[in-house]
Amino acid sequence: QVQLVESGGGLVQAGGSLRLSCTASGRTFSNYAMGWFRQAEGKEREFVTAIRWNGGGTSYADSVKGRFTISRDSAKNTVFLQMNSLRPEDTAVYYCAISRRIYIMPRISSDYDYWGQGTQVTVSS
C-alpha cells in the first residue's frame, strides 16, 4: 500500500503564497507521476499540476500557469506545490496523488491510483 500525507494548507490573503507538501511512504514504484488536484465546495475535482518522478517533466492547468510551481525531493519521496499570487478562486481542498501510468502525463483523476486525505487552502479577498 501507498500512503500520501499532505501538509501546508491554511488561510492566506489574496496575493499571498503557500507551499504544500506531500510525502509518500509504503510501496514504491520505479516510474510514476505525482499530481495535485483541488476541489472547491460544490464543484468537481480538477487537475492542478503533475510531475513525472523520472525526468521531472511537468504539466500545469492553464488557471495556475505562471503562479504555481511543482517540484520534488526524490530523497524524501516528497512533492511540493509552491503557490504564489493566490486568488480567492484558488480556495479548495488540495489533494496529492500518485499515478502508475508510464507513458503519459496524467491529467485526469481516473489516471491516479493513490490519493492523500487533502489539505484545505483558503484565500481571502
Query: What is the per-residue pLDDT across 51-102, written as a single tens digit (0 to 9) for each?
Result: 998 888 999 999 999 999 999 998 899 999 999 999 999 999 999 999 998 8
Q: How far is CA 68 from CA 61, 85, 114, in A?
A: 10, 8, 22
Q: How confident is the model at residue 15 (pLDDT cuts 50, 70, 90)?
A: very high
Q: What is the pLDDT of residue 28?
A: 72
- Backbone φ, ψ for residue 53 (5° rounding): -65, -40
**Is residue 92 within 8 Å of residue 83, measured between CB atoms?**
no
Do 64 and 48 form a contact (C-beta atoms < 8 A)? Answer: yes
For residue 53, count other CB atoms closer than 10 A to its CB: 20
CB burial of residue 105 (10 Å; 0-12, 13-18, 19+) = middle
| 106, pLDDT greater than 90 | yes
Helix (H) or strand (E) holding 98: strand 92-99
